[in-house]
A = this chain, B = another copy of it.
Amino acid sequence: MPSKLIEGAAIIGQSGGPTAVINQSLVGVVEGLKGKLPVKKIYGMRHGVDGLIKGLPLVDLTSLSQDTLERIAKTPSAALGSSRAKPTEADGPKIFEACRANDIRYFFYIGGNDSSDTCRIVHDLGLKHNYELRCFHVPKTVDNDLMGNDHTPGYASAARYVAMAFMSDDRDNASLPGIKINVIMGRHAGFLTAASALARREDGDGPHLIYLPEVPFDTDKFIDDIRAVVAKHNRCQIAVSEGIKDKDGVEIGAKLIAGDKDAHGNVQLSGSGALGDMLANLVKDKLKSPSGKPPRVRADTLGYLQRCWPEPSSVDAHEARQVGIKAAQEAMTGAQSGSVAIIRMSNHPYRIEKRLIPLTDVAAKTRHLPPEYIKGHADVSPAFIEYARPLVGELPQMAKLI
């Protein structure tokens, strides 16, 4: 055992909105730690740091069989339970009481930007409480909004689901023509909404319009856009981010929803059809015929299945496992803290590297869809397609007769 290592148990937590592959990362950390000398026990937190604060019993992961680990890895959503709690100064003593009681010296936290902030807070509290705890953040978020990362585990599977949804729904819309609005997850970053564009194969394929949270949403333009698409294709399939904002930066959806807020101050936008229904009613009203008949307009809000559909992108499943292993390896070679980041080395062939970056590079920061991935006010650029295509795996082929 290298002298810079400290002997003690490791603990792993999962946090924030779960994904289809967050358990791959959990299993990756366990695999990376198993049989390593300084770590004799590997524990799981129940419902993230919240479980530690509340003193919930730990889950012993030390002796799980490879078969069990593989079954866990393939199961969507956080197998240890998740949490949206953010520890405060007052939580410090409770956290370190649990750590001391179980001789925990390695802390792994799998989550998004809020979770990496939690990881940073726990790390800083450790310094303050004079308790040596090495803290590692393992990236995860369908929003793909972590700084310092080319992309984040969980995103590619959600993007695959969205692309497949738009391909299928586009065929549905072509068979019974109308205006179809699909509302996509992604509060602040448009990466997941943008992934709808991967559904296109031929001229005329939907989505015909894509509204991102990075581009101010204007209802008059929205109606004009639809009118133009319908004139050309006799139908219109539309991708709308749940986080679209007006020119003053006010979220259109948040205005409609008598909002829950989590400990990080985030308004709940998913789990409601209000935005889609409001937009559908607007279109029905504005595009009705001279006789007053509304066009056929439907809205679907894709909802939680985007993040938990059990058939992930194979690229994503693999990478999620690898970032977990990488975090464990960094801990076992003496790193004190950090966040694992995915860097793309080449696109043809697609190749990534995993690196440990400072927690403060990621914590509580939000990455947005960069301007070069946006085309006009209602589309994505070819550069985005180049970026996203290698992540989602092979998509189904669809054929047409009319």
Task: Give the residue among A17, A79, A180 with the most B Cβ atoms within 10 A.
Answer: A79
Closest CB of chain B to A50's CB: distance in Å?
Answer: 11
Q: Is the CB of A172 within 8 A of B76?
A: yes
Contact digits for A162-197, partner B, Cβ 8 Å, 1 yes 0 no: 001101110110111100100000000000000000
Q: Is the CB of A398 within 8 A of B300?
A: no
What bracket does the count of chain A residues touching chain B fall in? 35 or more
A294 contacts B by Cβ under 8 Å? yes
A397 contacts B by Cβ under 8 Å? yes
For A79, list chain B residues within 8 Å (CB).
171, 175, 399-402
A38 contacts B by Cβ under 8 Å? no
Q: Which residue of B lies closest to A70 (CB)?
A: B399
Stretch in contact with the other chain, from A217-225, A301-309, A342-350: A301-309
For A303, list chain B residues within 8 Å (CB).
300-302
Closest CB of chain B to A270's CB: distance in Å?
Answer: 7
Instruction: Give residues of chain A (301-341) contacting chain B, Cβ–Cβ below 8 Å.
Output: 301-305, 307-311
Known: A300-B301, A301-B300. A77 touches B277 (CB 8 A): no
Stretch in contact with the other chain, from A80-88, A144-152, A376-384: A80-88
Q: Is the CB of A308 within 8 A of B172?
A: yes
For A14, list chain B residues within 8 Å (CB).
175
A104 contacts B by Cβ under 8 Å? no
* Distance in angstroms between the alpha carbons of A61 and B399 in the assembled complex: 14
A300: contacting residue among B18, B47, B299, B304, CB under 8 A: B304
Q: Which residue of B lies closest to A67 (CB)?
A: B399
A265 contacts B by Cβ under 8 Å? no
Known: A167-B310, A168-B309, A175-B18. A399 touches B80 (CB 8 A): no
For A302, list chain B residues within 8 Å (CB).
303, 305
Known: A46-B402, A82-B175, A273-B273. A305 touches B310 (CB 8 A): no
A243 contacts B by Cβ under 8 Å? no
* Distance in angstroms between the alpha carbons of A281 and B273 in the assembled complex: 12
A76: contacting residue among B168, B180, B305, CB under 8 A: B168
Q: Is the CB of B299 within 8 A of A271?
A: yes
A127 contacts B by Cβ under 8 Å? no
A78 contacts B by Cβ under 8 Å? yes
Q: Is the CB of B277 within 8 A of A307?
A: no
A352 contacts B by Cβ under 8 Å? no
A290 contacts B by Cβ under 8 Å? no
Task: Give the residue among A82, A83, A280, A303 with the most B Cβ atoms within 10 A.
Answer: A303
Q: Is the CB of A75 within 8 A of B308?
A: no
Q: Which residue of B lies closest to A169 (CB)?
A: B304
For A68, list chain B residues within 8 Å (CB).
399
A292 contacts B by Cβ under 8 Å? no
* Distance in angstroms between the alpha carbons of A202 and B164 in the assembled complex: 30
A260 contacts B by Cβ under 8 Å? yes
For A307, list chain B residues within 8 Å (CB).
172
Q: Is the CB of B310 within 8 A of A77?
A: no
* Distance in angstroms between the alpha carbons of A273 and B304 in the assembled complex: 14
Contacts A/B (CB < 8 Å), 30 sampled: A17-B176, A47-B175, A68-B399, A72-B401, A74-B398, A75-B398, A76-B398, A77-B168, A77-B171, A77-B172, A77-B175, A78-B175, A79-B175, A79-B402, A81-B402, A82-B175, A164-B310, A165-B309, A167-B310, A169-B305, A172-B304, A271-B280, A271-B299, A273-B273, A273-B277, A300-B301, A301-B301, A302-B303, A302-B305, A310-B398
